[in-house]
Structure 1
Amino acid sequence: MDTIKIGIVGAGQIGKAHVEEYMDIPGAELVAICDINLEEARRVAVKYGIPSVYADYREMLRQEELAAVDVCLHNNYHMPVTTAVLEAGKHVYCEKPIAGSYKDGLQMVEAAKRCGKLLHIQLAHLYDKETRAAKQLIDAGKLGKLYHARSTGFRRRNRPYVDGYGTAAFTRKETAGGGALYDMGVYHIARMLYLMGNPKVERITGRTYQEMPMDEERRVRSGFDVEELAAGLVFLEGGITLDIIESWSLQLGGLEGSSIVGSDGGIRLSGAVSDRETNSFSYHTTIADLDMDCTVNLERADWRQRMLSPFPDAYASSQHHWISALQGQVPLLPTADIALNTMLISEGLYLSHQLGREVSADEVAQGSKSTSIVL
């Protein structure tokens, strides 16, 4: 099994989380880490035994043994760093969302194709046991013709920084590009697009909100100018509709999980309240003129798949899948294309709110502007 030598750009909260996961993946070797906070990068390097430390990622890219780079930066830094890495002949694993705008995300996808390198976006929910079970049912035709999906994400009162979690960088368009949609919605929307085969977007309508009270001092200090709640409706090719609600902060006890329905069956994924699940994975159909609500033993299904697979860890997580794909064990899931489509939807929802009307996918794509920041 080939050893994949990896460099990390970003030694913050997300970078540390990625480093931790690589520790448990056979064949992944961290050989370099980079952060403008050189002292923090050195501290992480010492803790995890990473031999090379840099303050400038361009200098790190001169390290010939590097096969791939993991970009763990805020959204608006993704495109310039990712493009530079690809052009240096390295594969890229990038944190979600793909970028701060559709235009920047498209440039990343095009750069990967031009350079002949793999671009993988961290879409963690694609590897959940329930997502894999849903995909099995859909691929086996057990839902029939798909025609509607719902993407939901819920936090009761957990906005970054102002409610005590994370940093103010999450709450400003300048660094994050967007709020709840970019932070959480990307996971849920991307999962529904993946299950439906990533259909082409036709039209989008939506609104965003920032209505709940917050500590005034933290509001000012954070520069909070992104949404805490987004809601919308997307029209996809093939007559499919997708409705969306994504919340950082919402005065409800919870939301049911995302769902997808077809002519012959439907699937509901697990939902959440602040401290527990509201519902678990279920499959719904009609057999012998009887309405059936079915539960699935996800643990047993996962165990069986792992036992039968020549590469049992290939879909254990986003990073496991990344390393397996680089080793040639499995084809890389089209996460970059799914993430780009997700960005088109998110940016379309913002534009629809701004204009007060429905917008077309072409209108969103043509009007998208770069939000990138060069380090």
Structure 2
Amino acid sequence: MPCTRQTEQPNGGGGERNRRVCRRQIWRVEARGEFSGDEISQVTRLRCGGFIFALRLNHTMSDAIGIAQFMGAVGEMARGKCAPSIPHVWQRELLNARNPPRVTCTHHLLDEVPDTNDYPLHNMVPCSFFFGSTQVNAIRKHVPSHLSQCSTFEIITACVWRCITITLKPDIESQVRVIFPVNVRAKLSPPLPTGYYGNAIVFVVAITTAGKLCQNPVGYALQLVKTAKDNVTVEYVRSSTDLAVIKGQRDLNRVRCYFPTDVTHVGFEEVDFGWGKAVYGGPAKLWNGPNPKLTGQYTLCGNGSGKNEIVSILLPNVAHEIFLKELEGMLMGHAIGGPSSTPIKSSM
């Protein structure tokens, strides 16, 4: 459920505290039964003069960029505009499968991975921490030169994936994976029109063994993540669409897999309903459904020194301290072969 918290006081408090307040205030639709509508929204007014705008909708209607576009349009009209500055574009036929559908690329998304029960996912609880420019630069200094310009998402994902695997200690020969969505709006030819708000993403997979991931420097994981992301071409997008038609709807295999989602560039924090930009904008909580999985969400939030990325992940309760120790050690150079850098500051 995306939400934004806005306030009339520009220094309304720390980022993680705002996130916790937001989670507490969200009305739980589940309490009224299974959610089956198209969209539900709620506004909660706060004593400080600010408010929380929460939105819940069926994800088949839109991806995160489309949701942010919708919320931005609501904000524009709340500020007096008669119509959104970016008209909404339906045109779902632009992403139809080919006729006949044909799979022309390698896709590991639906691979059958045997569960050897060496990756315990019990008593899952959230863990949040800031990952700012200091931490990102500490990693950049110690990766191969051809990877020094990797994106922040790629660096964070490589670090977290590696630390999770070290923490949970699966068999060294077990296959471990990271699966994440890639926005394809600008990757198609021609690109999707501005204002397209449907799901315009494909999922990519990076695969290796637990032994290789843990025993190699973080640059190894970074290369895997970057390669998976760079493989998204026009043909890959069309092949993914055709695969979905041929295989039908299937649940993803969650065995030994990390699922990160990055909404730092979506624009939730830019939504303005007339009270200024949001203090926090993004998902209200991590996925923690009946089938546990290692989920990660990257959002923007303030921590007293400007905007930083806040990384929230679900981990088994017994793994928290081990994970944070591994991540801090990596950032201090213990696992990347370089001098010490500023250790990460946990917001737990």
TM-score tier by shorter-chain length is: under 0.3
Richer in helix (by share)? 1
Q: Scaled by the length of structure 2, what TM-score is found?
A: 0.26
Higher relative contact order (Cα pairs below 8 Å, separated by 6+ residues) = 2
Q: Scaled by the length of structure 1, what TM-score is found?
A: 0.25
